[in-house]
Amino acid sequence: MSDLQQNYAGVFDGRLGFGRKPVILVVDFIRAYTTLDSPLFAADVVVAVAATVDLLTRARNKGIPVIYTQVLYSASGRDGGIFVQKVPVLRMLVSGEPLAEIVPELSPQPADVIIVKQYASAFFGTSLAAMLTSMGIDTIILAGCSTSGCIRATAVDGMQHGFRVVIPRECVGDRHRAPHESNLFDIDSKYGDVVAKADVLAYLGTL
């Protein structure tokens, strides 16, 4: 790790920091990743869900908007295109399937927004960018799963749409520690800031 950090030093180690108007974006924290007998189950996602509970409580107490994403496909799966051909297990995520529901620990509240998506990025094919721009948002605090998939894709697109992306590392998870850590390193190097949840809570406390 020291060799890797030295290699990136002075090139890919910039910091964006927090802006003035944040949103909490909760990506795909659904039962499929937290239910033990689900093919998508990931133990580290269960831990990340638990770590996100007080983050949402703090945000709501401060009047900070919370947006969720949820993956849903039509019965035919055609709206999943090549993605569901590459990852057929996703085809089970249809309306009415319990595993497709947002985890009860992080139940959306009446003021929250739920965006339905079919691909990895929360921005791709959705109204997210336009909605955040209309709200004057400049900072996305990103929680969810999986780190190497939908979190990475959303972080990259968030930066490309002009938003500061901040990831509290305790609040994201993946199936395996190796892709989780490598993607957090890469996101932190090029697309956003990966920080401790305590730093995010401290920032929210200043608002």
pLDDT of 63-80, one tens digit each? 999 999 999 999 999 999
Indicate if 150 belongs to the active site: yes
pLDDT at res. 15: 82
4 within domain boundaries? no
pLDDT of 78-104, one tens digit each? 999 999 999 999 999 999 999 999 999
CB atoms under 10 Å from CB of 30, counted, come to: 28
pLDDT at res. 137: 98
8 within domain boundaries? no
pLDDT at res. 3: 78
* CATH classification at residue 97: 3.40.50.850
133 within domain boundaries? yes
What is the average per-residue pLDDT within 107-126?
97
11 within domain boundaries? no
pLDDT at res. 35: 97
Catalytic residue among 93, 150, 166, 204: 150
Residue 108 binned pLDDT confidence (cut-offs 50, 70, 90): very high
Per DSSP, 9 falls in state: T
Report the sign of the C-alpha dihedral through residues 124, 112, 166, 35, in that order. Answer: negative
What is the average per-residue pLDDT within 53-63?
96
